[in-house]
Chains A and B, each alone.
Chain A
Amino acid sequence: MEKVMRLVSENGLVIFSKSSCCLCYALKILFQEIGVTPTVHELDQDPEGREMERAVMRLGCNAPLPAVFIGGKLVGSTNEVMSLHLSGGLIPLVRPYQSISN
């Protein structure tokens, strides 16, 4: 879907989320802890949200939201991000997008 692809290519670090979802919130906190500010797109606040959610799933995200894209590529949902972080792979991946103050 175009909107999804555009958002994903324009921003290095994108999270598709729902404002009511607490697990999505937890993931946002995690990125904060490692010193990055991802571009968050709340699909429940977007009129095209449903379609976007379907598009994200077609791109390979098996779990429900949140869906995390880094450098235009789908990383996955909470499971994948946690695994990546514990294996030490998340920080190198987000380093290009870390805020200058860090």
Chain B
Amino acid sequence: MMLSKGLKRKREEEEKEALAVDSWWLDQGHPAAAQTPPPVASSSLFDLSVLKLHHSLRQSEPDLRHLVLVVNTLRRIQASMVPATALPPVPIQPTVPTVADSLLSSSDAGLSASVASLLEDLSHIEDLNQAPQLQADEGPPGRSVGGAPPNLGALDLLGPATSCLLEDGLEGLFEDIDTSMYDSELWAPASEGLKPSPENGPAKDETPELDEAELDYLMDVLVGTQALERPPGPGR
């Protein structure tokens, strides 16, 4: 909680700083010139967008609208900076880093991995969160939130979280686990020149750790096997 509070205060301070920043963009000269975008975006606009994206991702709970708008704007800028390369259509692929790479240039592999991993995290966390409603729904006429799996049965005894996790069978558990957090690119100093600050690291780690500890416990209980050994990743 203190971390989140710390993050919030910091964000507000940064916002105040941002507002106080010398608006050197205003001195771009004739308004008409500023209005027509140059054929190739300046690298500073690109850098600014990357900075915003990182800032957004560092929030404990990113503003989804802000994130989506910044990502879309970044894609536009990216596209204009590499006019010869047409953006390939986004294929639906199971491998997270590949899809992300196709969207942004390879030099931003770390960034794309972090964007993709964040969006996956949001999706994964949301699946866990959906669980409490499954028991409340009793086949209403409308489409109930989450949709209860056909036979919960004895799994109910283990608690609400399990029923959702086991919807897709045990294999589904592993598919949902996002391992891109542990790809070295994310933490490599060279990736963005922006090291995640120490207080942010634990906050980001906490969430996947919590999920995995819970998953491991459930695996133990259900399957009766020992928890799989997981190689310690960086930042743990």
A binds B: no
Which residues of B line the A interface, CB within 8 A? none
Residues in chain A within 8 A of chain B (CB atoms): none
